[in-house]
Structure 1
């Protein structure tokens, strides 16, 4: 499996540096005038032969895909990373570690549901919640 360092900077600081994981993440925050935050997440995955390429739950017919412990859905992993980061929670690799066999081959929709649950719990407890998420996919 490919490994890369997770890099991030945030305003305000929200978490300790995430552990090494399969993706390289770049988190950038910008404080908006009415206390909104903009979080940009960049996930870099190495495509390997013999793996499916799944983007947003859709299996894209390619000869290469993401070598990953779960289904390796690059779009949903990015969304989960953004939600967790916005809520000040640890990196996706810390919450859903590849050392836990229950995540082996898991569809990324499971991670989305958990991130949504974290957001609802945070809102229920009177905290700030994520209300809007925009996603841009760029295939290089």
Structure 2
């Protein structure tokens, strides 16, 4: 580890990834960090066509759905799950031990500004803003809304 802020963030993300699966399974999917919840997001791999799962923190609800944020540890490229949902937005989100078929969409424009404002008011805007600053404009941090999918 080089000790740079980006390297430290990436190390922290790797550690969280290593403990997320056993923690999530042991808790029956009920993992919270204050009001934030751990979400297991299962996408379809854009090249493989195989299910791919990742654990993300949902900082808030958006309607009946969840918000997940693609900070990817302030990496220069988007997280793989983001590329997967860009190719096929149909996902399975497991929260609180319940799996739901959902559709992922990226919040943009006024909706994005409103969500960022709500995150800031709740004290969660800091991780998003720090990641955005660390990237220095190389990419936009996606705010992804997971909504119920009436057609599976």
TM-score, normalization by structure 1: 0.30
The structure richer in helix per residue is 2
The higher relative CO (CA closer than 8 Å, separation ≥ 6) is in 2
TM-score, normalization by structure 2: 0.28
